[in-house]
Amino acid sequence: MKRLCCIAGLFASAVVWAMAAPAAAGQAPQAAPPPTKNDVQTCLQCHDQEPVNLVLQTPHAVKADARTPFAQQQCETCHGASAAHVEVAGTPVAVVYKGPKRSPVAQRNAVCLSCHEAGLRTHWTGSQHESRGVACNDCHTIHARTQPVLSKATQAQVCFTCHKTQRAQIRRISAHPLAVTSLASTAKMSCSDCHNPHGSTGPKLLKKNSVNETCYTCHAEKRGPFLWEHAPVVDDCTNCHTPHGSNNAPLLKARAPWLCQECHSGDHGAQVNSGANLATGAATTINGMQQPGAAAPRAQMGARACLNCHVLVHGSNHPAGAKFQR
């Protein structure tokens, strides 16, 4: 009898344990954390107008790409954790990019550089733009389908908001095709073809290490080496040319022969092209002063000036081209 009671007790305990096990297993989903709140939907309750909501049509909003802000903390990836902004009206977000309450430049740039640090941005720290307090969003428009600074047709206009001198220069008669003019229906070049605005190892934010290397990217025929080389050409193209625009073709800083006489002041024993050569006064020559009637006509003043004879001013490979005549 006692043995039957023990068996019955063991059976009852097993039944109770079997009924309790599923109940315990059923409690696990209840202990799981709630799903993450959709920050985009929270922001769009107020920011549902252009241009803010246009960010949804940009590469930054591709959730399927783990590298994008929207695949991480969505709006808060760039604007920082901003619970107070949601709870109290008028409280700014953690990182403000525009307006009188905008965050310091270093704080705004740090957000961008957290993703965009390598590649063309390698030399950003210490560059001319960084040291002058330029923020990424001064040039880039994130809440937009297309960024003007990334388009060859409109990039120069973004740069010209600060670089006023260069804006005037490209409107001159001889200029690189950086803008739409009466002679060009569309821009064929952009500032970033020569410059890296995020910093570089060369001067003037040039993409290459020197002016000449940058120019040779397009003007390869001037590269050389030549049998007979012209010293100012080897030194720096800007000795004679101004790259953004000039009133003298082709992009010359001054018209020949005056440009040539900045270095060659005594060639041919003829009169120097100077403002001292007035119609009623004496003509200045390398040997002194002569009366106008005694001064020989200047062959270098007609047509292409010095280039009438010295046609290969960038360098010559001809055995008889020591004077760049052939």
Give 282-311 pLDDT, tens digit per residue: 666 656 665 555 555 566 667 788 888 899
Q: What is the mean pLDDT of residues 21-34?
A: 46
pTM of the model: 0.76
178 found inside a domain: no
Q: Where does a domain end: 117, 144, 171?
A: 144
Say if residue 231 is in the same domain as residue 140. no
179 found inside a domain: no
65 found inside a domain: yes
Cis peptide before 225 (omega within 30 of 0): yes
Domain housing 105: 45-144
- The whole-number pLDDT of residue 274 equals 56
Average pLDDT over the chain reads 82
Q: What is the DSSP string of 202-217?
A: SGGGBSSSSHHHHHHT
Which candidate, 162, 164, 163, 167, places its Cα nearest to that of 181?
A: 167
Which candidate, 272, 264, 266, places its Cα nearest to that of 301?
A: 272
Domain count, the chain: 2
Q: What is the DSSP string of 131-143?
A: HTT--HHHH--SS
Q: How do residues 100-138 score in pLDDT, each as one tens digit?
A: 999 999 999 999 999 998 889 999 999 999 999 999 999
Cis peptide before 34 (omega within 30 of 0): no
Q: Where does a domain end: 80, 114, 144?
A: 144
Residue 271 phi/psi, 5-degree rounding, is: -70, 145
Q: Where does a domain end: 86, 109, 144?
A: 144
Query: How do beta strands 283-285 and 288-290 pair?
Result: antiparallel
